[in-house]
Amino acid sequence: MDNVQSGILAPPPRLACYLTFSLKSHGAVAPAISSLLDIVDGNKVVLGFGYPVVGALNRQIDGLRIFPSFFGSGLALPSTPSALWFWVRANDRGQLLHLARKITDTIAPAFDRESILDAFVYDTGRDLTGYEDGTENPKGDKAVAAGIVQGKGQGMDGSSFVAVQKWVHDFAGFAKLSSKEQDDSIGRRRTDNEELADAPPSAHVKRTAQESFDPEAFVLRRSMPWGNGTEGGLNFVAFGKSFDAFEAQLKRMVGAEDGIVDGIFQYTRPVTGSYFWCPPMRGGRLDLRALGL
Ligand code: HEM
């Protein structure tokens, strides 16, 4: 699909870094974004626009909204809107550093960098708790159907809506649980990734079972572990044709449906929550017609 930022559909790279930016100067937004066109190739660099920047351009993207922090009952979660989100994907730490610097310097007239996060693949694609992550991700045509906008017209088709949450793990708290309690929190066995037949309703894979929603709630997860010294967790990243499937899952995870909170909250918490719209590609460059650019 040459109208999609190809990094979205590709498997995660070994190393990556995530950057977010806030708006500094409304007037300088359009030229700063235009100057990104030579840097963002959709593969080594994937870009998403947040609600604040779309507003600054006096545009609207149907379906793009601010991350909800509350679903009426259950746990409240942080909502941290950012203007821009970059997923820089390279297998070389030096290349990542130079790309991050280039992006930051190029858009400095209009945007301040808010955060930079180093991410990596752990072992065979495990979360830092040791559990395989991504097993039930849709693949091939199903990945496209779940993650990519289609049938919405020029400038929108090929785009994607991405939900991003930085989760911080409490490794000491996790280690205090027995291996049965740990497996029950996910609903899969860490040793062989088998789904547990007798998992409790709080098990993460029971909360989020994609076929169990009406309508079915499939997303394309591209999360990566992050680490900084001895701190770490998961940078949860889910691409969707809209935010609806992600929101349905999150709602159930926080117990807003039935009061049952997802088992993973015993040892991990999100500290950010943001939504972005990742524009399509056209002729090898970002297609920004929906933003009037
Ligand atoms: C630190 C946070 C999280 C961790 C460690 C985590 C870990 C996992 C693991 C180990 C699995 C089982 C293997 C797999 O199918 O990938 C899984 C499944 C899944 N997770 Fe998460 N997850 C986290 C947050 C989330 C969030 C915030 C959502 C969505 C709101 C989510 C949605 C899903 C979905 C949809 C599945 C597949 C369920 C199915 O259809 O079987 N996860 N997760």
What separation in Å is there between the alpha carbon of 171 and the centre of ligand 1? 18
For 10-30, the pLDDT digits (tens) are 998 999 999 999 999 888 999
Atom of ligand 1 nearest to the CA of 211: 40
Choose which residue among 139, 221, 231 to substitute to test ligand 1 binding: the one with the highest number of ligand atoms within 8 A of its C-beta.
221
Give the pTM.
0.97
Atom of ligand 1 nearest to the CA of 217: 35
Peptide bond into 215 cis (omega under 30): yes
Q: Per the structure block, which two tokens stand in for 32?
A: 């700063």
Q: What is the mean pLDDT of residues 241-246?
A: 98
Q: Per the structure block, which two tokens stand in for 36?
A: 């990104």
Q: How confident is the model at residue 164 (pLDDT cuts 50, 70, 90)?
A: very high
Atom of ligand 1 nearest to the CA of 246: 30
220 lines ligand 1 (CB under 6 A): no
- Among all chains, which residue has been given the structure tokens 């495990």? 126
For 138-163, the pLDDT digits (tens) are 999 999 999 999 999 999 999 999 99
SS (H, E, C) 69-116: CCCCCCCCCCCCCCCEEEEEECCCHHHHHHHHHHHHHHCCCCEEEEEE
SS (H, E, C) the chain: CCCCCHHHCCCCCCEEEEEEEEECCHHHHHHHHHCCCCCCCCCCEEEEECHHHHHHCCCCCCCCCCCCCCCCCCCCCCCCCCCEEEEEECCCHHHHHHHHHHHHHHCCCCEEEEEEEEEECECCCECCCCCECCCCCCCCHHHHHHHCCCCCCCCCCCCEEEEEEEEEECHHHHHHCCHHHHHHHHCECCCCCCECCCCCCCCHHHHCCHHHCCCCCCCEECCEEEEECCEEEEEEEEEECCCHHHHHHHHHHCCCCCCCCCHHHHCEEECCCEEEEECCEECCEECCHHHCC
208 lines ligand 1 (CB under 6 A): yes
Q: Quick check: 83 and 276 in contact, CB under 8 A? A: no
What separation in Å is there between the alpha carbon of 249 and the centre of ligand 1? 9
What separation in Å is there between the alpha carbon of 55 and the centre of ligand 1? 32
What's the alpha-carbon Rg for the chain, to the nearest Å?
A: 19
Q: How confident is the model at residue 72 (pLDDT cuts 50, 70, 90)?
A: confident
CA 108 vs CA 27, 54, 84, 113, 221: distances in Å: 13, 18, 12, 8, 30
Q: What is the mean pLDDT of residues 209-214?
A: 96
Atom of ligand 1 nearest to the CA of 134: 16
What is the reported pLDDT for 26? 86
The Cα 15–Cα 38 span in angstroms is 22
